[in-house]
Each structure stands twice: as structure tokens, then as C-alpha cells.
Amino acid sequence: MAGVYSPLMSRLPLELLLSLRYLRPRRTFVSIITLISVLSVTLAVAVLIIVISVMSGFDKELRDKILGFNTHLKISQYDGTLQDYAAVMGIVKSNANVRGVSPFILGPVLAQNETDTNHSLFNVPWVRGIDPQTEGEVSVLPKSIVDGKLDLENNGMRGLLVGTEFARNMGLGVGDKINIHSPRNMERMRSNSDLKIAPDEFEVRGIFDVGYFEYNASIVVMSLEDAQDLYGLGDSVHGLLVMLNDPYQADAVREELRASLGPGFKIKTWIEENSSLFSSLVVEKNVMFIVLFFIMIVAALCMSSTLITFVVQKTREIGMLKALGISQLQVMTIFLSQSVMVGIIGVTTGFGLGILAIHNRNEFLHFLRRTTHLELFPADVYAFHELPALVVPGDIMIICGTALVLCILSGVVPAWAASRLKPVEALRHE
């Protein structure tokens, strides 16, 4: 053991010294399958880190995008529209946990764009009527205008904001005209077939991108007054949007507002409104972890088979060591140390590979898109233009810790079998 084993190595415990000697690369079949074991642990850890981090990123980005355009609380009345909404806004604003309040009107309409070729394009977006003076307190819309401006004034022509995807699908740009058919007018024409009501004409004043595909494709924004006229609400609104200082205090603030407002008001939190979406993400993350966890089990079994092969190959040496007086515990420690070291190497390299892949995930997707024109992450399906990821230290500790424990456990049976070998039988075997 001269050369490789320096005086520092010679001061190591005998069990660890022998484990390092056995793990030293050689041009043998056992060395190859040992390398395969390390690679299997590396890939298992890296894949789990990548997938779980991407799932965590999806959850965080989705919450951020939804809360950027939607709010933490939505207040409405059980028996219809909200009549004296200004007074209600004053009560809500008096709560110390409330950061902003704004009225809203929300409902579906039929949008029609007559193109130059006398061909009409139709879409069924949701209209959101807003108060431009207070909308900035509850959403990122005023900061998300990518073309045109936030101008909803009725200067002889009603103004409208549309999302980037809606504008692309309908062939719209700033300054274009679009017809809006309100449900109220369509219901009146359905009741009276002789009645013909012209649609309301709007001018596209701005195009927004709030970072979430679904909102960009299915929401159009107009002033509160135009939306009230469109739905025949008079001076009432559908409800109030409330932004809090801490979104995770939504349940507590709701109870406070219920006490302040009294009965008759319906208050929904952002978690309730998106419960099915967030719950499905949690379930998907857990299922992916369980499914991919079997890759780690396979890697542990591969390591176990490697150690069994190694024990068979070293039967004569084990017999000699035991004949020289090494105890069963020391023999077990030799082979368990091997599984520990293989596990540490595999987990460490897997962690590094996983973090590297997460850091360069979007560069890889862009490269793949340029070279193969293959879209692995379509925005119209996943609602994001970039692949999100969030490295959660708790998840990383669970993955790496579990992988290391499995690696150690995989060496228990081979190490126990080696320790049970009797010197005479081992030497006779050889």
C-alpha cells in the first residue's frame, strides 16, 4: 500500500483503510459495477432534485402570478350586487391588515373583431371592470402594459385593455376597434326575435402581459362605468377586491371583516378560489416523489448486488482476516464503510448535477427548441414562458438524507454475510 497510502492514511482505522483499498479503481469487473452503482445513485438523486424543484417552482410561480392579477380576498353580497360599495370599502380599509381595496365587475361577454377581409373573429373572454384610480393597489395590471397605455376614458369611444394572447388570437393592436356583445342584450334578443341590438364598440387602448397565459388569453379590461352599463348594474358592482399585507393571514382577516361588515357578505380567500389547482399541484408533487423514489431503491439494490459480488470475490481475504483475529463487527464495518462512501460520493455528485441542471434548465430548453424545433414546455399548456424551479432546502435534505440511508441499508445484508463467514470454510472455499 505504499505510494497511494501516505502516513496520513496509515493513521486511519483499519476498517476504513481496508474499505478505501477495496474501493481503489482497478481494471476489474467489480470496479465497473461499483462505478455503475455510484452513477445510479448520482442519477437517482439528480432526477429527484430536478423534478421536485421544478414542481416547487410551478407552485410558487403559479401563486405569484395568480396573486399578481387576483387578490387575497374577494367580497360580495349573497343576495345580489353590492350597492353602497364606497361605504363598504371604507370599513374594509380601516382594517390594519388591508393594503388595498378596489371595486370590480366580472362576467363573460362575446367579443367580435371584423377583419379587413369581411371575416369576423369571435372569442368569449371575461370582462373585468376596474377603477383605474385604485386598481394599482390590488393588482399588477397598471405595471403590466406592454403596448399602449392604461386609458379607459370614454372620449367619444370606449376604451379597452386586452391581454397579449387575446390580441394575438383576435388579430388586434392598439387603436383597433372591437365589438362587445353583452349577455343582457343577447338575452333580450333571444326573448324577442324581432329585436336587434347593435353591439357596443370599444377601442383597444392598451395590451397587457401579467405573466400568466390564462389571464392574457381570456381577460379584457374596461372601466367600471362601462362595465356597469354593459351589465345594467346602475351604480352597483359585483364586489370588492382586497389585497392584504400578508396573504397567508387571509383566513384571520376574513373573520375580522365578517365581524366588521355583519351578515349578508360573502368573503372568499385566494386559497379557496384556487383550492383545486393548488391541491392538484401538491398531489402531483407527492406522486412524482413516490414514483421517482423507486429509482433510488433500484440504485440501492444495484449497490447491494455489487457488495454481494465483492464479498464473494474477497472470500479468501475475509477468511484470512478473521483467522488473524479480526472480529465480526470489524468485518461488517469494512463493507458498511464501502456502502457509506459510495453513498456519499453518489449523493454529492447527484446534488451537484441536479443543481447544475436546474441552473441551466431554460438554456437547455432554448437550445433544444432552436435545434430540434421541439417544444417541451408549451406556454398554452403550462401557462408559463419559462420553466420555473425553486430549490427548497427541506426537500433537498429529505432527498439526499433518504438516498444516503438507503445506500447504508443496502450494505447491511452483504456486510452481515461477510461477518458470518468462518475462517476455515472461507479458506477451504478458495
Summarised one tens digit per residue, pLDDT across range 363-394 is 887 787 778 777 666 665 555 667 888 898 98
Integer Rg of the chain from CA: 33
User: Is 367 strand, coil or helix?
Assistant: helix
Give Cα 13 distance to the centre of its chain. Answer: 47
> Rounded to an integer, what distance in angstroms lies between the CA atom of residue 309 and that of residue 409?
16
- pLDDT for 383: 57
The pLDDT confidence band at residue 330, using thresholds 50, 70 and 90, is confident
What's the whole-number mean pLDDT along residues 135-143? 90
The pLDDT confidence band at residue 342, using thresholds 50, 70 and 90, is confident
- pLDDT for 23: 60
Entry pTM:
0.66
Encode pLDDT of 249-271 as tens digits. Answer: 888 999 999 999 988 899 999 88
Encode pLDDT of 155-213 as tens digits. Answer: 888 999 999 999 999 989 999 999 998 887 777 777 777 777 778 899 999 999 987 78
- pLDDT for 295: 82
What's the whole-number mean pLDDT along residues 325-343? 76
- pLDDT for 256: 92
Encode pLDDT of 17-68 as tens digits. Answer: 555 565 655 555 556 777 778 888 899 899 999 988 988 888 888 777 777 7
- pLDDT for 424: 58
Report whether 52 contacts 395 (CB < 8 A).
yes
> Rounded to an integer, what distance in angstroms lies between the CA atom of residue 117 and that of residue 242?
44
Give every CB contact of residue 93 below 8 A, 6+ residues apart in sequence: 101
8 pLDDT more than 50: no
